[in-house]
Chain A
Amino acid sequence: MSILINKDTRVLVQGITGRAGSFHAAQMREYGTQVIGGVTPGRGGTRWEELPVFDTVAEAVRETGATATCIFVPARFGGEAILEAAKAHLSLIVVITEGIPALDMVKVKSWMKGQSPQGVAPVLIGPNGPGLITPGQAKIGIMPGYIHRPGSIGVVSRSGTLTYEAVWQLTQLGLGQSTCVGIGGDTVPGTSFVEILELFERDRETAGIVLIGEIGGTAEEEAAVFIRKHVTKPVVAFVAGATAPREKRMGHAGAVIAQGQGTHASKIQALKGAEVAVAENPASIGQTMLKVMNEQGVRRKLR
């Protein structure tokens, strides 16, 4: 088991003939992902490698039975590409594109919510993130596959390379991962921590959770509230940006302490209040998880 994707997920790539799209489509296939076609307006009827390319997502879905998409289109077309995928009833939309205007995302999310009857809204992962991976089965995104190994730790993060760092630490300590989800570094992510935590909590294969946050917004505080009320599995967290100054955007569009909101201290306080094991040192995220899992193991044996 895993969350959101597995070896049977049938994936389209929007922007498959572009530089990033074609490179990563090839990488995904090499990892074992079932990439079954691509979409590039104006290139319908051609082929990328041996896979069919379509003009529209609707056509691609009709012809291939795809259920997920990975979006690599330029930022100015990103919002529309998401809407096209949602309108074609894909259930998982993964957006790698960086630089989609925040108000485009606000409108896209609002529209998707209005269109979808309760319970069947597509899951939107990203934008501006690495995507997601179920180690040993499939990846939809741009993360290097080899740093992962199958196992029982769920990872959810607002970051890209910092997630690789954490995953690599876990893998080296023998802690494999169930699924790793990069929700992205934007102001308005499609999915936030809470929804992913809920999926990990329900997933039988996931035994522990690593959450990687950063300054800006209140997603970590909301995650803490959810963890306190609903998560029974052990959670380890790291929050980047203890040394970040106020009112300065730290690379990610969403990583900014503005109007006094989104400070490192507030997030750490909230997470500690929810009994999350907070790693102060980014180099010890894996060790912290190992320690927590060992303690849990002891506790379970004692019962």
Chain B
Amino acid sequence: MRLLEHQAKKILSSWGIPIPRGAVLSRPNQLTAAFAKKVGRFPLIVKAQVYAGGRGKAGGIVKVADLKKAISAAADLLGKRLVTPQTGPEGVPVKTVLLEQGLTLQKEFYIGILIDRSKGLPMVVAAKEGGVAIEELALENPQAIQTTSFDPLLGLLPFQARQIVNWLGLPSEHREAAVQQLLAFARGFFELDASLVEVNPWALTKELGPVALDAKLTFDDNGLFRHPELSGFKTADADSPSEAKAREIGISYVGLNGSIGCMVNGAGLAMATMDLIKLHGGEPANFLDVGGGADLNQVREAFKLILADGQVRAVLVNIFGGIMKCDLVAQGIIGAAKTMKIKVPLVVRLEGTNVELGRKLLQESGLGFITASDMDEAARKVVEAANP
């Protein structure tokens, strides 16, 4: 689960991290009042609030000198689709903007706290250059990046934070504040079960010293049960209504741009099925892991999600029923197909316990299922069915 910049900054502020004065708005006519009440200083920055990175280059961050220009910048951004290197060509809609006081930047750094997956330990990634994507910096100037693993049972220790701050080269009068901020980032990372705390840039400003000028917070969905205060954000970051719906009902679903809907049990098999469709010249419309149970209700909900996508021209169901018996899966598919009037071709591949019985049920249902005995045949048939 991700947060928008202004939501992340609110949390950082509660950890004691200085942030620029700012206000969030969804309509340009709110700007004058918001400025008077919450910002009050020039220059101003108008920032599109979207989850995707790379906003600056895409024109999503505008610096202006007066209110009139701020209103026109906000009007330009709100309601527009912002296309950044991370969004794909269709872009993402800008629903809110953050109006912020522009600060005088003396130096920009990068700070990220995340899990080093190969070591299984938390780490601080620090960089001497901020405001650029860390992946790009890693390619262009890896010497400017330093990582520090720390003990998850002890947390980041003050001496480690001091080492990082010294390495970054902050002026001595700001070092203590910077150390305290680093410790707060690491503490917050654990307290909220975050998977990423990224402050980029972490800027040294003339007005406020070290400041979180931009912030990205991502949480481990598996840790959310410990944080009811975050439940309000649970589906807000979904990229489509289908993804939001899938999360509500507990099915893993990711929408894609193709024409072949997929329903599969298990995440690895679901990805492999998408890959196989592509190998046969088709384009998957989605990733969908229907889960271990795949009972009638889940199968029906999964079909609803897949068919809500108007681009879907055929659907592939690929189930490896291990513990789950194929005849029960077949009954679920038949039940869902009967009540839902599925208008696109449906290719079904079942394997596992009671597979013969399951295939027989599908064939005798009279519902026109296209069956396949292995994955390869199923993928070939569904690609043909989608492009007659």
Contact = CB atoms under 8 A, between A and B. Distances in A.
Contacts of A216: 117
Contacts of A75: 222, 225
A248 B153 CA distance: 29
B59 interface: no
Given A101-B226, A102-B195, A250-B287, A243 B275 contact: yes
B117 A217 contact: yes
A219 B118 contact: yes
Nearest to A130: B322
Contacts of A152: none
Contacts of B269: 159-162, 165, 240, 282
B332 interface: no
A188 B272 contact: no
Contacts of A247: 86
Contacts of B86: 246-247
A251 B374 CA distance: 23
Contact of A280 (B135, B279, B284): B279
Contacts of A246: 86
A110 interface: yes
The dominant DSSP class at the B interface is mixed
B221 interface: yes
Greatest chain A CB density within 10 A among B266, B277, B279 is at B266
Contact of B375 (A103, A106, A212, A283): A283
Interface string A232-268: 0000001011111111111111110011100000000
Contacts of B268: 157-163, 185, 212, 214, 240, 251-252, 255
Nearest to A252: B267
Interface stretch (A48-56, A84-92, A141-149): A141-149
Contacts of B223: 101-104
A238 B134 CA distance: 29
A76 interface: yes
A216 B287 CA distance: 16
Interface in B183-242: 190, 193, 195-196, 220-223, 225-226, 239
Top 7 A-B pairs, shortest CB-CB distance:
A159-B268, A251-B267, A161-B266, A260-B135, A162-B268, A144-B322, A283-B376
Given A161-B269, A255-B271, 9 more contacts: A23-B323, A99-B222, A161-B265, A165-B269, A165-B320, A242-B278, A245-B256, A250-B252, A253-B222
Interface of A: 23-24, 27, 75-76, 99-107, 109-111, 114, 142-144, 146-147, 157-165, 168, 185, 187-188, 212, 214-219, 222, 238, 240-255, 258-260, 280-284
Interface of B: 86, 112, 114-115, 117-118, 120-122, 134-135, 138, 151-153, 190, 193, 195-196, 220-223, 225-226, 239, 252, 254, 256, 264-279, 284, 287, 289, 320, 322-323, 351-353, 374-376, 379
